[in-house]
């Protein structure tokens, strides 16, 4: 597969899962655009690391994906900078507790803004480039889209909406553009959160996953699964098969 000259955008790509995905795609020869909102230092450090491996192969783009105008501006910057886009990984996410009794309309708008509106309109803004390149979109959802987590109703519902969007976009954008998703289980916990033994006990493989394992799934969907669209690849160590 000829990947030289192809370009991938990873939203939320400066650290954690996003950084692992950026490194994985870069290791296969793609130029990577690393989006960040606040993590400027991490984004620049990662870009420097990747450019040290291969010159002029990584670039940073800042945008707050909750702000509609900045979504469109990010798309414009990408197409103007590269003239093409082959892979879009919608990874940017926020994991917030939203118990129904204490949830505000602002929280509602933010969860759906980040997880649904931003991916939709980012795809819209770069669609001509994706179509021209016969590109692909990979949305990072969550197993909680199907198996909700108590007190996180807005997070779960918005990720479920992203899964539905994956299918509808795949149908609408075929045959030029493939659209798929990866749904991680226990891969990487938020800072300060302790991995519960109960979670591991319900995971057939008996451990949490790694960011590299999820990045490998994104790479497969983006670069190798060329006859696959509208699908979600679950990366959870088998946890969902233990759910009643």
So which residues are the catalytic ones? Answer: 155
Q: What is the rounded distance in angstroms from the CA atom of residue 115 to the CA atom of residue 140?
A: 9
Structure tokens belonging to residue 244: 């009643």
Q: CA 22, 28, 208, 114 torsion: positive or negative? A: positive
Tell me if residue 157 falls in helix, strand or coil.
Answer: helix
* Residues 36 and 12 sit within 8 Å (Cβ to Cβ): yes
Find, among 119, 19, 33, 49, the residue nearest to 84 by Cα: 33
Find, among 218, 226, 223, 229, the residue nearest to 22 by Cα: 218
Tell me if residue 183 falls in helix, strand or coil.
Answer: strand
């Amino acid at each position: 597969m000829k990947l030289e000259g192809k370009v991938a955008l990873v939203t939320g790509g400066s650290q954690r899962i996003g950084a692992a995905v950026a490194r994985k795609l870069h290791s296969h020869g793609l130029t990577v655009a690393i989006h960040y909102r606040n993590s400027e230092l991490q984004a620049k450090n990662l870009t420097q690391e990747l450019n040290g491996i291969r010159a002029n192969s990584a670039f940073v783009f800042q945008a707050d994906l909750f702000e509609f105008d900045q979504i469109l501006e990010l798309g414009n910057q990408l197409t103007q900078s590269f003239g093409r886009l082959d892979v879009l990984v919608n990874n940017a996410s926020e994991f917030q507790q939203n118990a129904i009794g204490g949830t505000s309309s602002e929280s509602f708008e933010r969860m759906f803004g980040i997880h649904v509106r931003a991916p939709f309109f980012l795809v819209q803004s770069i669609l001509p480039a994706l179509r021209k390149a016969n590109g692909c979109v990979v949305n990072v959802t969550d197993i909680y889209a199907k198996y909700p987590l108590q007190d996180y109703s807005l997070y779960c519902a918005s990720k479920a909406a992203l899964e539905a969007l994956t299918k509808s976009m795949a149908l609408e954008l075929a045959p030029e553009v493939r659209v798929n998703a990866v749904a991680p289980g226990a891969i990487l916990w938020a800072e300060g959160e302790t991995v519960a033994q109960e979670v591991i006990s319900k995971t057939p493989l008996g451990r949490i996953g790694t960011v590299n394992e999820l990045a490998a799934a994104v790479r497969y969907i983006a670069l190798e699964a060329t006859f696959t669209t509208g699908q979600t690849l679950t990366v959870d160590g088998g946890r969902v098969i233990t759910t009643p």
